[in-house]
């Protein structure tokens, strides 16, 4: 949220809704809830949302977990649990041929230490399944 100091010296939060957020995970949480609402309709009691988040998606699972429940509640979707699966990217070492999963890109090949590699995937970001409660 944008902040400024008003004439009295007090800190003012400038809440402009979707445009007034200061980390993109909040915009992304809104996108997820929008997607869920489109799919499920409003007023459903959603207990769990399952996501897959690749290490090259540019999204922090931690930041998403932080803002998600409050936002969901504000939108009348309860306080769903967010399960985030963070699979590694698949990598083939171009020097020794070893194939491995990689999450931290400053790590070299676990066998030969090389950074000369072919990276497959890693940028996936999907909602996989939702669990709803019927009462």
Partner 1 sequence: MGTPTKRTIDVVSPVMAKNNEIAARNQKRLAEAQILGINLIGSPGCGKTTLLESMASILGTAMFVIEGDVQTRRDADRIERAGCAAYQIETGGACHLNAQAVSEALDHLEPKFGACRYMAIENVGNLICPSAYDLGEHVKVGLLSVPEGDDKVLKYPSLFSRIDVLLVTKIDLLPVMEFNRDRVKTECRSLQPDFVAFELSGKTGQGVEEFCEFLDTKRRALLVDA
Contacts with partner 1, residue ranges (CB under 8 A): 1-2, 14, 16, 19-24, 27-28, 31-32, 34-36, 39-40, 45, 47, 51, 55-59, 105-106, 115-119, 122-135
Quote the CA–CA distance of 115 and 61 in Å, as a whole number. Answer: 26
CB of 42 to partner 1, least distance (A): 15
Cα torsion at 123, 127, 128, 131 (round to 10°)? 160
Quote the CA–CA distance of 122 and 109 in Å, as a whole number. Answer: 16
Please give the structure tokens belonging to residue 29: 């949480």
CB of 6 to partner 1, least distance (A): 16
Q: Which is nearer to partner 1, 98 or 125 (CB)?
A: 125
Q: Which is nearer to partner 1, 28 or 72 (CB)?
A: 28
């Amino acid at each position: 949220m944008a902040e400024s100091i008003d004439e009295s010296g007090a800190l003012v939060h400038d809440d402009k809704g979707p445009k007034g957020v200061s980390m993109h995970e909040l915009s992304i949480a809104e996108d997820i809830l929008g997607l869920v609402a489109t799919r499920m309709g409003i007023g459903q009691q959603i207990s769990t949302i399952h996501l897959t988040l690749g290490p090259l998606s540019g999204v922090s699972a931690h930041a998403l977990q932080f803002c998600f429940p409050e936002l969901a509640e504000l939108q009348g979707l309860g306080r769903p649990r967010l399960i985030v699966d963070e699979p590694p990217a698949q990598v083939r070492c171009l020097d020794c041929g070893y194939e491995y999963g990689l999450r931290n890109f400053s790590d070299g090949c676990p066998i030969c230490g090389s950074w000369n590699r072919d990276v497959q995937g890693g940028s996936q970001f999907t909602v996989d399944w939702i669990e709803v409660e019927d009462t």
